[in-house]
Amino acid sequence: MSHHCLRTSVFSGLLGLSLALVPVAARADDTKDAKKQASATPKPAGMVVAKDPVTGKLRAPTAEEAAELNQQKAKTAPHTAVTRKLQTVKGPHGAVGVVLDDSSAVYAVATKTPDGKVTTKEVNGATLAKKPVQQGKANEK
């Protein structure tokens, strides 16, 4: 029984994987797929310049300025559920599939407490995974 999956790329990968995978030669199809997903990681769009607060001249942003800009962009970005375009997959017999991006991934995050114990929690996506876990402390008030 043969089934043909038609993958239709109808979007530009606004929320593609944020983790770059090292290209590997001679891999299984699954790995090629991973590389393809990695290649869909969004690139900065447009030129970004900063206005020097001292000279008033335009220049390339420093790393700190770029990071701050990215944070602001993230805060003002419309909700992902509304804005993301879906990469669909046509399965057999009318099945409709969607490729999930990293925002759907559930990450385990561990934090070490002052007494050396390890606690974990789960967060969504690579961005949230970077946030530290809030921990209760023995001397909490």
Partner 1 sequence: MRSSAAVLLLALAPLAVQAAATITIVNGDPAGKGFNDPRPVDPVGGNPGNTLGQQRQNAFQAAADKWGATLNSPVPIRVLATWDSLSCTSTTAVLGSASATEIFRDFKTAPKTGTWYNKALANALEGVDLDPRTADIRARFNVNLGNPGCFDGTSFYLGLDGNHGLNVDLVTVLTHEFGHGMGFQTFTDGASGAQFDGFPSIWDYFLLDTTSGLTWNQMTDDQRAASAQKNGKLVWNGTNVNTAAMNQLWWGTPSLQVSQPDSVAGSYSVGTASFGPTLANPGVFAEVATFVDTDPGLALACNPLSRANATAVAGKIALVDRGVCTFVTKAAYLQAAEALGIIVADNVAGSPPPGLGGDDPTILIPVVRITQNDGAALKAAIAGGNGSVLATLGVYPYQLQGADINSNVLMYAPSPYSGGSSISHFDISAFPNLLMEPNISDDLTHEVTPPQDLTYMLLKDIGWPQN
Residues that bind partner 1 (CB under 8 A): 1, 3, 5, 7, 19, 21-24, 26-31, 33-34, 79-82, 86, 89, 91-100, 104-112, 116-126, 128-130, 132-133, 136-141
Residue 48 vs 98, nearer CB to partner 1: 98
CA 43, 45, 48: angle at the middle one, nearest 5? 115
Smallest gap, in angstroms, from Cβ of residue 134 to partner 1?
Answer: 10
d(CA 125, CA 141): 32
Residue 69 vs 99, nearer CB to partner 1: 99
Asked if residue 18 lies in contact with residue 43, where contact means CB atoms within 8 angstroms, the answer is: no
Residue 50 vs 80, nearer CB to partner 1: 80
Q: How many CA atoms lie within 13 A of 112 on its CB side?
A: 3
Residue 52 vs 71, nearer CB to partner 1: 71
Smallest gap, in angstroms, from Cβ of residue 77 to partner 1?
Answer: 14
Smallest gap, in angstroms, from Cβ of residue 46 to partner 1?
Answer: 27
Smallest gap, in angstroms, from Cβ of residue 86 to partner 1?
Answer: 6
Is the four-CA dihedral 111, 113, 114, 116 of positive or negative sign? negative
